[in-house]
Structure 1
Amino acid sequence: MMSVFPDEKVLEQEYKDLSGLLSNIVSSVPMYLFVKDTGNDFRYVYASPMMEQLFGQYHGDIVGKTDFELFNDPVVAQAFRDKDLDVLKSRKTQRFIEQMIDREGVLRSIDTMKMLVPREGKAPYLLGMSWDITRQQQIEEEQQENNKRLALSCQAGKIYPWIWDVINETAELSFAKDGEIIHTFITHESFTEKIHPDEQQMYRDVVNAFARGETDSLRLSFRCHYFSDEYVWLEKIGEVYEYDKDGKPSKAIGILRDITVDKQHEEDVRAKHLAEESDRMKSAFIANMSHEIRTPLNAIVGFSTLLAQADTEEEKQEYLQIIQSSNEFLLQLIGDILDISKIESGKLEFVYTTFRLNEIFQPQERAFSLRAEPDVKVCFETDGNDYYIESEKTRLTQVITNFLSNAIKFTSSGSIRFGYRITETGIYAYVTDTGTGIAKEHLSSVFDRFVKLDMFKQGTGLGLSICKTIISMLKGEIGVESEVGKGSTFWFAIPCTPIKVS
């Protein structure tokens, strides 16, 4: 009769095979595995082959020894023993970081897990599993140091890195705080809403074009109050770094940079240049002004003397006309100087009243017809209606007469037509002449101060600049269209509510 139990030799062989397998597994696992007898002064009863790296001894020679016999430094040995006692006392699995100096004098950091393995009728074993995390800690420390440097750099430069998920319209925005990089997730729209209204549409247009793949890179500046209660200037720079299967951008990376200081510097430099240019122009203006004032004064004084000596009435009238013309020019000159002074000091007064538009246009037709050359026809163009508006009558009259004065000055034949028309937002007024015209390169500077396009014509170069200031204060627009040899059209448009005169 055959036995149903396995042969003892078979069992012994299977045990040896299993022990060999476990031994090979333990030897192959990259960790320190050890067992201590808590009932025998925590002596090692097992040490895996990797333990040789720590103690510099054959792992078999470690068995039967304590940490005090294996470590040269009793302080280190006591630290290990204290941890063993904590595990034995608490009866709980514990994990902690231990440090030790290996046989080559290298300080190693060991991540260790210790637990008790109970034995029937005997003190439990203490099972330990350790991983050498020295390199890992070095990498983490280097990473922390690099992150700290990055954080300090971002903080000093007011730089905010971002990664944009184009498809989901979300972004990971990073910013530095107390030397650390903090990451937060925001939606595309929540950031856009914080942009200044004047730049919000521009921002949407540029960023949406970037998201559609129309451009591979992104660079724009705008005002935003996402990071503070007040608007600051930000520059957004980015590149696509991942595309979807259709070749469309799916992810982009870049930075936001606070450029408020740069903008302020630009403004300071611009202001400095403007101040220098203003000083230069004022010097030229003073030199020119002495000549401009002297000319009509000489005419007034000279012809006043001749007037007393005139023999005929015709001669007297001729002298009186020259004196009157010089008086008018001198008054205009002084008026322009006073207006510029008021503008500089912010004291240019505006008094709003209700008046008829034809009151300020119609009288100019006769007045300037008398001043025009014989071959020039001055014509007020009207649709036959009149309108009430509420505005600054005196200043609007000043603008119209300035336009007409310039037209008279530069038109020797043809016509000067002027008038107004009603628009959806107010009125549009114009003065069109057939004079010498203005070269394209000079059009942009026509309304600047002290600009004289013809040095042989009387004038200070202030009139059009004053007109621009007046129209600007009325929240309107002013402009010029011109072609050399064909004439010019000076115009302005102001917002108001015209009411037809019944």
Structure 2
Amino acid sequence: MDVYENFSREELIQRIKELETNLSQSAMNNADMEEMSENLANQRKINFLNILMNTILSNVFVAISVKDIFDGFKYIYFNQAAEDFTEVNASDVLGKTDFELYPDPRRAHEIRTEDYSTIKNGRTHKIMVEYEKPNGDIRIVNTIRLLITNPDPGASPLLLVMLWDVTEQRQNELDLIKAREADKMKNAFIANMSHEIRTPLNAIVGFSRLITETDNDSEQQEYLTIIDNNSSLLLQLINDILDFAKIESGTLNYNISYVDLKDICHEVYVSQSLKMTSDVALLYNGDLLPSVRLQTDAQRVEQVLLNLLSNAIKCTNQGFISLSYKLEDGFVRVSVTDTGIGIAREKQNAIFDRFVKLDEFRQGTGLGLSICKMIIEKLGGEIGVESEQGKGSCFWFTLPLSVPLAFPDEEDDNISDNIPEALPGQYTLLVAEDVLENYLLLQAVLKQQYRLIYATNGRQAVQMFKKYEPDLILMDIKMPVMDGFAATREIRELSSDVPVMALSAFAYDKEKEKAKECHFNDYLVKPVDIPLLKYKIKYYLNKNKK
């Protein structure tokens, strides 16, 4: 206090004021420092939380985007998952609207409608919906859309969209469902086949025993008819099962060749005419239809037609069944129409599915139409049905028209060099037949006496005639590449003496007349009478020898 002894009262008061001011300023500076330190800590915490949130949003597998509603629904946020899902960079999205991002304005309108719905309801949630990406790719997604209201007065509300891709998950679920359904269908199929196979077998076995116990001719004939019908049914069941197994394993063979649809339809019409009753007419105006050249598998087309006609015959008690075809742009459309029981509309979509039987009380595998569908699609066509219950049905399929196959050059055909030499005095017969089973039948009955050489088409028959000079030719009429008529005309230019006998399923006079014009020596109709065939072969060989 000695320092202040010489100060006047006024000076002392002034000094005290200065000291108080300095103390006050010091206290204030300390408070500012504390506040600044606290603000800095808070800012650091906020920055860390921002980094943390940005890291989370950038690495989460959910696509997240945010739109500013007051700014025309422009994107203001687009995370990494959104970039990966849409395959569009965030830099190309931010500041733009959906109308600027999607080439198709209809898709942008759909999204904008969803935006308005979310604004109205505050939230929308959709599970497993189709979502079209900007590049047009369709994915299955789950989505959540939220309206975020900004508490700052006058600030724009935001629209938050979150979605995640569940396409693979959905596909796995569908595959599992399909596998379970397939397992159910397979078990039902096995049980059904056991029943279907045992039914005709029961008739075959039972009437085979009865036929040995009766001497009555009419009863024997009746039993034979029953056995024959059930044998045909059993054979069809087995063929369907085998074809289905081959199609499933990808081993069903297709022999593509140049054929005439008119010939196929005619042959099917002839074979099915025998099955008609007096109350149902089978119509086929072949004379009014044009020839249609196709590159296809004639046997498989015939199989489809036989199946469709057989179904029509089973389901038609009166009226008619018609077989026809017409040319369309690049295709030929083949139709089988009937006036039968028809098919209910709700069942038409499943008619070509596997193991489907519209009438559980009718015998069959439920595979016939499914096999037809797989065959026609393999041949490049489509198959379908138009039907009204109680009024009839029209089953149709298409086959593509194409440029005709060129005949292969002679050096391109493979002729086996493994044919054994003829024994002394042994005659050589050339068999031209495209169906292996038919050749094997001839081989079984003729190989003990003759050397046989085998051609699978008319072109090959001509080449083998030139190479082996056979003593007699058994010529099928309907063959791929070159038919029997054309092959015989070429052979006749090389030899007028060699006997040529036609073996054909065509039994009409016009085919026989055409065979005469082509200088066939004889014409036998399939199924061939074996004793007659053997007699004819001996007759022409002896005649030619003289």
- Work out the CA distance in 2 between the residues paired with 1:366 and 1:164: 76
Q: CA 1:189/1:109 → structure 2, altered by over 3 Å: closer, same or farther?
A: closer
AA matched with 1:108: E
Matches within 5 A, 1:226-265: 233=139, 235=141, 255=161, 257-259=163-165, 262-265=166-169
1:455 matches 2:388: no
Report the number of matched residues: 357
* Equivalent position of 1:420 in the other structure: 325
* Equivalent position of 1:289 in the other structure: 193
- Work out the CA distance in 2 between the residues paired with 1:224 and 1:162: 17
Q: CA 1:332/1:161 → structure 2, altered by over 3 Å: closer, same or farther?
A: same
Maintained 8 Å contact 1:223/1:233? yes
* Equivalent position of 2:107 in the other structure: 207
Maintained 8 Å contact 1:477/1:493? yes
1:353 matches 2:257: yes
Q: CA 1:213/1:449 → structure 2, altered by over 3 Å: closer, same or farther?
A: closer
Q: CA 1:164/1:399 → structure 2, altered by over 3 Å: closer, same or farther?
A: farther
* Equivalent position of 1:278 in the other structure: 182
Secondary structure in structure 1 of the residue aligned to 2:274: helix
Q: CA deviation at 1:331?
A: 1.2
1:397 matches 2:327: no
Q: CA 1:498/1:222 → structure 2, altered by over 3 Å: closer, same or farther?
A: farther
Maintained 8 Å contact 2:67/2:73? no
1:199-246 Cα offsets, whole Å, 9 max, x none, are: xxxxx374154379799469863576979xxx78364969899xxxxx
Q: CA deviation at 1:388?
A: 0.4
1:336 matches 2:240: yes
Q: CA 1:395/1:226 → structure 2, altered by over 3 Å: closer, same or farther?
A: same
AA matched with 1:185: D
2:225 is aligned, of 321, 343, 347, to 321
* Equivalent position of 1:221 in the other structure: 130
Q: CA deviation at 1:469?
A: 1.8
Secondary structure in structure 2 of the residue aligned to 1:341: helix
- Work out the CA distance in 1 between the residues paired with 2:106 and 2:202: 62
Secondary structure in structure 1 of the residue aligned to 2:38: strand
Bigger strand share? 1
1:331-383 Cα offsets, whole Å, 9 max, x none, are: 11111111121123232232222211112212222222221232011112554
Maintained 8 Å contact 1:411/1:436? yes
Maintained 8 Å contact 1:296/1:330? yes
- Work out the CA distance in 1 between the residues paired with 2:183 and 2:238: 20
Q: Using the aligned pairs only, state the percent identity.
A: 35
Secondary structure in structure 2 of the residue aligned to 1:456: coil
- Work out the CA distance in 2 between the residues paired with 1:472 and 1:173: 49
Q: CA deviation at 1:173?
A: 6.9
1:298 is aligned, of 190, 194, 202, to 202
1:373-429 Cα offsets, whole Å, 9 max, x none, are: 320111125542110011222222222111111111111111111222111131222
1:73-116 Cα offsets, whole Å, 9 max, x none, are: xxxxxxxxxxxxxxxxxxxxxxxxxx9534xxx83346xxxxxx
* Equivalent position of 2:334 in the other structure: 429
Bigger helix share? 2
* Equivalent position of 1:375 in the other structure: 279
1:315-346 Cα offsets, whole Å, 9 max, x none, are: 44433332222222111111111112112323
2:38 is aligned, of 78, 91, 108, to 108
Q: CA deviation at 1:302?
A: 3.1
Q: Which moved more, 1:215-224 or 1:269-278?
A: 215-224
- Work out the CA distance in 2 between the residues paired with 1:137 and 1:328: 89
Q: CA deviation at 1:492?
A: 1.9
Q: CA deviation at 1:438?
A: 1.7
AA matched with 2:177: H
Maintained 8 Å contact 1:216/1:240? no
* Equivalent position of 1:408 in the other structure: 313
- Work out the CA distance in 1 between the residues paired with 2:66 and 2:330: 44
1:183 matches 2:90: yes
Gapped runs of 5+ residues in structure 1? 1-56, 73-98, 111-133, 194-203, 242-250
- Work out the CA distance in 2 between the residues paired with 1:257 and 1:214: 14
1:496 matches 2:401: yes
- Work out the CA distance in 1 between the residues paired with 2:316 and 2:131: 46
Secondary structure in structure 2 of the residue aligned to 1:156: coil
Maintained 8 Å contact 2:145/2:161? no
1:120-141 Cα offsets, whole Å, 9 max, x none, are: xxxxxxxxxxxxxx66665555
TM-score, with structure 2 as normaliser? 0.55
